[in-house]
Amino acid sequence: MGPAKEYIDQYLKENVLQSETIHRMKHVIREFSLRTPKVLVTKCIDGRVHGSKLKGYPVTTIRFGRTDGNIVSTNINNFWFWNRIDRVVNDALCNTPGMPALFIAYMHRSDIPGLGCAAHGGNEEAARAAIKEQAEAVRNVFPKEQLYVIEGITNTDLMSETLVFDDGTIIDSQEIVANFGFNEPSEIFHSAFLKYQIKDPAISKNVGFKTPEELFSGKVPDFYADFQTSLSLKSFLIREISGIISSGEIDSQKLIQPDLFHAVYQKLSGIKDLPSTLFPSLLYQIIWNVAYTLNQKRKLSKLPAEERWKHLDHAEELICYGEGFELLQRNKAVLVKTGRGDDTDALLVAKKVLEKNRQNDPKPYPPIIHLNVEISGELRSWEDFNENVSSRVNTMVRNLEAVFKNQEVVILTTYSYLDQKRFYPIHTKLDTRISYPTDVISDINGEDKFSGIGLKTKEAFYAGEMISST
């Protein structure tokens, strides 16, 4: 298990370092979330459609649901599905009054034959039907004033998005790129914005006092590659766009390329019954995705053929089961969340994808499965820990046992906090396949031994050890 241990060790170190950035930039992320809706996104388990980067939303600001092919039972008995929606709706009612929550159900496709959604056998019509059924079911339960529902299509080649609204309006980032003839992500911004340092002193400091033009330069632009820079710019852009729309200074704004800003604004203005409070965030998301698509296109053009193909095709290295994996990069993992109504079906699809990937790119260790339980509150007592972490881990391990029966695998079991995204390794049952040596709850795993302070101390010690060893 030596190579597997080395892989997991490096994997966890990267996670701890990124979670440190989240902690340091918590105030910036909060500024962003104050101006945007509470968002729930459902997607496929495909690792190529991972995360919130292409939408311009910082980590922790979007909740995700993931099932194979985004196939999910919308029956009222599917507690996990409907509870996830109720959480985001209630969050909006309490914290963003006057602004509905946003629900987007995504399918994905590729322009390259054979690289579409494996769960649907590459059948785009079947993939579209799955999200359409889901969107209609949710619309029938929640009014637009509480929850606004959109269907989405992700192109996994360029990471462009197509948003389909309930009145039939379609906004396609790839089409916008073609119509405007953009070639570089910087072209979507106003020349006055690109040329000078950002006036906000805190944001300017966070991006190293560079001009936006400098942040777009180089082989790998800091605008996207540097985590702190990207978080800062997201917060700055949503603030500026919100200010432009609320002031009505559409024609005089000097942030976004004027024709692009006007075109997207007019398109959104024509959508029937679109709540006005969603205008800034949707306009921001579309413009960000146009730039992100151009960056992806630029990146692909510079990759050698072999690397380009690996980037476009499935290349996931492990299976991630549960919640809290948003910090992982694209194509790192096949992502399986609870909520389909039958987790083992999604795990079987994930297993097939990983087995195929390992045939094309053999590894010196057995398949690795990372199971994570994410919680949103504090763990103050053993009862809290048992109910919210230990028992859930054991229930989910049972699903893994059913799918990977008699197969050699390495299982990493962890928990994380919603606002932190740091994986804390734990052992909640005796299983030789759960092999990572660190156990954050060792010595406090019991009613008489557990304390909230003791757990926080163990968590801090673990993080400190990981950081010091990098």
| Residue-wise pLDDT tens digits, 123-157 | 999 999 999 999 999 999 999 999 999 999 999 99
Residues 313-368 have pLDDT tens digits of: 889 999 999 999 999 999 999 999 876 668 898 899 999 999 999 998 999 999 99
pLDDT at 70: 94
Question: Could you tell me if 38 and 96 are in contact, meaning their C-beta atoms sit under 8 angstroms apart?
Answer: yes
Sign, Cα dihedral of 375, 377, 378, 381: negative
Q: Name the CATH superfamily for 37-157.
A: Carbonic anhydrase (3.40.1050.10)
For residue 247, is pLDDT > 60?
yes
Bridge partner list, 460: none
Whether 265 shows a pLDDT value over 80: the answer reads yes
CA distances from 38 to 89, 96, 205, 281, 427 (A): 8, 8, 28, 11, 33
d(CA 462, CA 414): 13
- Structure confidence at residue 339 (pLDDT): 66
pLDDT higher than 90, residue 260: yes
**CA proximity to 64, closest of 120, 95, 106:** 106
Please give the average per-residue pLDDT across 9-30, as a whole number: 95
pLDDT the model gives residue 470: 80
Residue 437 has a pLDDT of 87
pLDDT at 187: 97
pLDDT at 1: 52
d(CA 281, CA 246) in angstroms, rounded, equals 12
| Sequence ranges of the domains in the chain | 37-157, 186-313, 318-468
| Positive/negative CA dihedral, 460, 12, 206, 57 | negative
Full-model pTM:
0.93
pLDDT score, position 220:
84
- Of 161-170, 172-181, 308-317, the poorest mean pLDDT is in 308-317
Residue 36's φ and ψ, nearest 5 degrees, are -130, 160
Nearest to 452 by CA among 389, 385, 386, 405: 385
Q: pLDDT tens-digit profile of 93-110?
A: 999 999 999 999 999 999
